[in-house]
Amino acid sequence: MATDTRQTRHAVIAIMVSVAALSLGDALIKATSLSLPLWQIYILRSALVLPVLWGALCVRGTGRPVSVFWVALRSGLLIAMWLSYYSALPFMPLSAAAAAYYTAPVLITVLTAALSRRWPARRVLGAIFLGFAGVVLILRPDTSGFELATLLPLLAAFLYACAMVLTAHMCRDDDPFTLALALNIGFIIAGIGLGLFAGTAGSFALGPWHSVDASLIAIVAALALSILVGSVGAAFAYQNGPPATIAAFDYTYLVFSLIWGVLFFGEWPAALALAGIAMIAAAGFLSLPSARPKGP
């Protein structure tokens, strides 16, 4: 019991570090007004990450995935997830897209229950829905009107949930650095594929290639560090912790986003947003397994 509890705590720390890094990368893009198209970001960012991951695997003496098929499928799901989410942003408010995307932890719980044919404890279920309620308080999405594009963040949430459940059940024995390496190889392949259709001015996904200078390389390097920490951390977390518990702490992405908003842009959260942060924190602690031993 003590070992399982310690392992879960390490997984919780990993997912929080992961979402902190990923949210910081998003804030950096906004703060620097980065105008690179998505496919170029995929290629440049992962090109910087690959040597680091390869070196780490050489030092660790690992590298070959246990199952090439499941690792490749996981990478494909995550790449499609990011493409779906970013493709929706030109057509809907960011708050609405983020609120829809953060149905992923609920979907993770449902998928995990379906695979195991057993629902998690009521306490964990309550934590998931409490966290989601906190998300709604923070984002307060505008529900007026409807466009087909509003389904894309929901698709992204489903793809992310599938990828994380797959990580927990089929890629559990793979080195997290191997999973991250496969993901970034997939990013480069996807970037090249999208680049074949690039040239549409003003398109975030298919815009033309931008020239790269020293300052831009520094920004991309920071984004590469973000995806490195985020991809390894998320893989480790879902491999070593209960998916429903880790999903509850996945909500802290929004907490970190609010922190970066204050630091970079002076955007102080309103009272409802602060209440949402408190609900997300409570959901995380509520989802933690009890370390109290059973018996007298």
Q: Is the pLDDT of residue 293 over 60?
A: no
* Burial (Cβ within 10 Å: 0-12, 13-18, ≥19) of residue 149: middle
In terms of phi and psi (left: phi > 0; alpha: psi -120 to 50; beta: otherwise), the region of 212 is beta
pLDDT value at residue 291: 44
CA angle, 115 then 118 then 121, to 5°: 125
Residue 33 is classified by DSSP as T
Instruction: Give per-residue pLDDT as tens, 1-54.
Output: 555 788 888 999 999 999 999 888 877 776 665 567 888 888 998 999 999 999
Instruction: Give per-residue pLDDT as tens, 164-210.
Output: 889 888 888 888 889 999 999 999 999 999 888 887 766 667 788 88
Amino acid at 48: L
208 contacts: CB under 8 Å, gap ≥ 6: 37, 198, 199, 200, 201
pLDDT value at residue 48: 92
Token pair 């797959």 is found at 166
Amino acid at 271: A
185 contacts: CB under 8 Å, gap ≥ 6: 46, 50, 75
Instruction: Give per-residue pLDDT as tens, 72-86.
Output: 999 999 999 988 887
Instruction: Give per-residue pLDDT as tens, 229-251.
Output: 998 998 899 888 888 788 878 87
CA distance 91 to 99: 15
Q: Is the pLDDT of residue 271 over 60?
A: yes
Query: How many helices, marked H, and strands, marked E, lie in the chain?
Result: 12, 0
CA pseudo-torsion sign 117, 119, 120, 121: negative
24 contacts: CB under 8 Å, gap ≥ 6: 226, 256, 260
Q: Return the percentage of the chain with pLDDT > 70, whole number.
A: 83
